[in-house]
A and B are shown apart, each in its own frame.
Chain A
């Protein structure tokens, strides 16, 4: 059976959920071979094996942390040369897309970004994309070279499928470009203890209607009652009420949770672009005409300062 390379997104050996989803999708088109790079690469093997990786290619070097993107492209290229895979799958983060694009160009291949589903096809893997702010669904494939496809988080349910996960050291020689862009400083983002926005099953978001940084506590309390991540509209982010890393939408994160709750958000096209593929959508807005209501499964026309605390209370009561 053909091998499929899966690029591993991990933090010091802890594999992030989108990679496990990729392993599930990879099994539809072949045998997953994972590529883990940088500090802690070897520690990823157990989690990857549990989710179907037949092999884990690892390489640790300081270049991956000290320089931007290119060292990882060099390593993936070495992995492709070692394995001759039927496809390369990369998680759709900003960096993942850049790595994938440069790799595709080097391989003389095409690239598809932000796939939301993947199937085996007669002429290679067929990717589903959700485009134009999720108003269209397209199916595409790569017609030249080894398909390189990036896949959005939450595109597949993680399935356990124990496999060998044999660790092999990958041999990498860095290109002249590898050290071109130096990382001179790094400030890690402080963890809030809440789930990752793009990986969360439930996202609770606030917009301009929240009317102040201090009021985001209401949104956080609701999120915590549901074990959810917190999102924000660009209006709320631009006003400085919530960090940009939590922005949902075209220029923020694109989320696809089981449940999305929007409070005080009108539903502009650029916001919808980032949340329209959520399975269940709920909105609280005092304007019955707000476009967000066109998307909802359940909507409450009302003041969020009344509805959100009442909802949080009721959830807490029900959960006991």
Chain B
């Protein structure tokens, strides 16, 4: 038996950098370093663990939709241990929204062939947390999402979803789309050997025509949403800061009373 896993990984601007918008109100990617979305490292990790715990022949493909530099995200995932990579890159993709992104990813996943898709819980830039559900809808397969624990055995994926009201145990037959949270287990660091090996692993590049997608279906033009305005949040006015010399608790209570919280 063999198991084909596709892990979706996003290349995002570094959250600790000075993120802002370009003139067309898309994310400015030129001024901020990009990296593999940290939450997708957990997806790569769980794919590797599924592979390590499996008797089957497992092949892990990492997939990204993004600009030229997004190859860095693929390299990182390959150096963690994924087998091969697919980069969907096309000038017409610039500015694609979640609905469009899910179209491109779904077509690429179908073309690559898959038994299991593993995604992160959310990107660290758009942070919508919707792409895995959209992929399941498009692919017509079960969604087993937001898992803090996941396992695959005999064509069945099982996992635990820790929600607000309850913890749920979930189960679905493959093929399926899974997403994992940052509670699923620390992601490994690439080893030196892994980094060297990654350089030799295949990275395929596909554009929209390889996926039979028309330019008008995606990008800013094809978008289902329009950003009308983006404004930097005004800096908070400097607050009062006191040093505790025995009275700090009382002074704070006084402030809270003044604000009618007590």
Contact = CB atoms under 8 A, between A and B. Distances in A.
Interface of A: 11, 68-70, 73, 93-95, 97-98, 100-102, 104-106, 109-114, 126, 130-145, 177, 180-189, 196, 202, 226, 244-245, 250-251, 258-259, 269-270, 273, 276, 280-282, 284, 288, 293-303, 306-315, 318-319
Contacts of B165: 11, 188-189
Contacts of B242: 298-301
Contacts of B246: 306
Interface stretch (B56-64, B70-78, B122-130): B122-130
Contacts of A184: 158, 169-171
B204 interface: no
Nearest to A314: B253
A136 B244 CA distance: 33
Contact of A97 (B25, B128, B158, B176): B128
A185 to B, nearest CB: 4
B207 interface: no
B63 to A, nearest CB: 19
A317 B181 CA distance: 43
A102 B124 CA distance: 21
B249 A313 contact: yes
Nearest to B226: A143
Contact of B140 (A177, A296, A307, A311): A177
A307 B249 contact: yes
A102 B99 contact: no
Interface stretch (B79-87, B110-118, B187-195, B254-262): B254-262
Given A186-B166, A299-B240, 13 more contacts: A68-B142, A132-B20, A136-B19, A143-B225, A184-B170, A189-B165, A251-B122, A259-B256, A298-B242, A301-B248, A312-B249, A314-B249, A314-B253
The 4 A-B residue pairs whose C-beta atoms are closest, nearest first, are A310-B249, A302-B244, A110-B224, A180-B142
A310 B133 contact: no
Size bin of chain B's contact surface: 35 or more
Contact of B248 (A135, A269, A306): A306
A112 B239 contact: no
B104 interface: no
Given A105-B134, A244-B183, A296-B239, A301 B244 contact: yes
A140 B169 contact: no
Interface of B: 15-16, 19-21, 25, 39, 97-99, 102, 121-122, 124-125, 127-130, 132-134, 136-138, 140-146, 148, 158, 161-173, 176, 181-183, 223-233, 236, 239-244, 246, 248-253, 255-257, 259, 261-262
Nearest to A300: B248
Contacts of B171: 181-182, 184
Nearest to A133: B15
Nearest to B255: A298
B163 A250 contact: no
A298 B138 contact: no
B156 to A, nearest CB: 10
A185 B168 contact: yes
Given A130-B233, A137-B231, A181 B15 contact: no
B223 A110 contact: yes
A270 to B, nearest CB: 7
A136 B230 contact: yes
B24 to A, nearest CB: 13
27 contacts: A11-B165, A68-B142, A68-B144, A68-B170, A97-B128, A98-B145, A137-B230, A139-B230, A141-B225, A180-B172, A181-B144, A188-B165, A244-B148, A258-B261, A280-B259, A284-B252, A294-B236, A299-B241, A300-B241, A300-B244, A300-B252, A301-B243, A302-B244, A306-B249, A307-B252, A310-B250, A312-B249
